[in-house]
Amino acid sequence: MKRSWLEAESKEWVEEGIIDEAQQQQILSKYEKQSGGSVIFFFAAILIGLACLTFLAANWTEIHHLLRVTLIISFLVSFYVLGYWMFERGRESYGIFCNVVALAIFGTGIFLFGDMYHFSMNSVFSFTIWTIAAFLIYLSRPHIFIWIIGLVIAFAGQMISTFQLHDFNWLLLAVFVVAYGGVIYVRKHEGLSWLFASLLTVQLFAFSVSEVDYYWFTVFALLIYLLSYSVASRSVQRPLYGVAIGSMFIITIYHALLFENVTRVETFTVNDYYFLFLIPMLSLAVLFAILNKEKFGVIQLVLFVPVFIFGEYASIIACLLLFIVSISKLLEGYYCYDQQKVRFGIAGFLLSTCVVYFQMAWDFLDRSLFFLIGGIILFVIGVLLNRQHSGRLEDRRKDG
């Protein structure tokens, strides 16, 4: 929770008589302002680590093998021990600084040793070792920056494996999900959960595109959606749910653009095994949404419907689904008094309007009409939001 947001909100609470100034100060005292020093030391560690590694790489061939090993191990041990010493004296920022540099030296050392002694291990295996090392350092010093670095290392290794080596690495994905996903499950940090869910989704989409076909991503998105029901914390559940729905919204836009060409629809083929996974998983998702009384959630599951089964109407159906989901998200925001959902609904509705206009009505309607329609829609939504806000304030006054 940001202190600046809490200061603004608590000021309104004092003005409305919900709390007094003394209580406001007690609440704010629990959320001390965070110093930007840790961020500065984090980036300083990266730059110094890169400087050391660049120096070693530039002079690598001129250094004797034994001296190479000695230099890397000495740098590695020195920075890690120094980091431990800093942590013991309560200087956390300096300790993180040293640990990040040590981690950078360790990762580069793996690649340099492999090149020096001609080890028969590919670069992805090196990334796996590096990722595990980052996680072990995180366990010894559980700091958010170390966790993020390990997460990015795993993601970068997977992208290299998938698109450069043309081999999706399931071991690296397992480390990513079990180790770093386990931290998400324990810490229940919403920001980290969004990052984890987003990078996981990109990896699964990369697998779908490179190893099978893009439409298989629907199955993986459903898996992430179902996974959101396995956690009780809203801080973890919301990002998993949001990434699954958001990614399928993008896929549906792609369908609206792809199947505008009737020839593309006629030549489009689907593996029958795809439906063997999709149908039971989608049914289970609908069942979970109903059991949890998420009426808007049931509506938004239409994004997982494979529109290509509708043949020449696939593009029209895709556009219709975009509007249905956008409006349902907008209504959900009004119903739950959630401004974030309202904004998502507005953005989705305008994006859907753009897709429909440019795909179907561009040659028939005056282009200025598009901006007129968009302005009218925004005006109506603004009026509704103002009425809603005024109604809530009036209810508070009556209750007070």
**One digit per residue, pLDDT tens: the chain, 400 residues?**
455 556 666 676 777 777 777 776 777 666 555 444 555 655 666 676 667 667 766 666 666 667 767 777 777 777 777 777 777 777 777 777 778 888 887 887 777 766 666 565 566 888 899 999 999 988 888 888 889 999 999 999 999 989 888 889 999 999 999 999 999 988 888 889 999 999 999 999 999 998 888 899 999 999 999 999 888 888 888 899 999 999 999 999 888 887 776 666 667 788 889 999 999 999 999 999 999 888 888 888 999 999 888 878 888 888 889 888 888 887 787 777 777 777 787 778 778 777 776 665 555 555 455 556 656 766 776 666 566 656 555 555 555 5
Angle subtended at Cα 278 by Cα 273 and Cα 282, rounded to the nearest 5 degrees: 165
Dihedral (CA of 148, 153, 158, 163) sign: positive
In contact, 149 and 103? CB cutoff 8 Å:
yes
**Among 121, 222, 217, which Cα is nearest to 169's?**
121
User: Rounded to whole angstroms, how far apart are CA atoms 116 and 337?
Assistant: 61
Q: CA separation (Å) from 59 to 53, 150, 352? A: 10, 28, 55
Burial pattern 291-314, b for ≥16 Cβ within 10 A else e, equals: eeeeebbbbbbbbbbbbbeeeeeb
> How many angstroms from the chain centroid is the CA of residue 158?
16
Structure tokens belonging to residue 214: 């893009």
Interatomic CA distance for residues 341 and 233, integer angstroms? 19
Give the long-range contacts of residues 84-88, CB within 8 A, separation 24 or more. Answer: 87/141
Q: What is the pTM of this model?
A: 0.75
Question: Residue 379: is it exposed, middle or buried by C-beta count within 10 angstroms (0-12/13-18/19+)?
Answer: exposed
Q: How far apart are CA 119 and CA 116, in angstroms?
A: 8
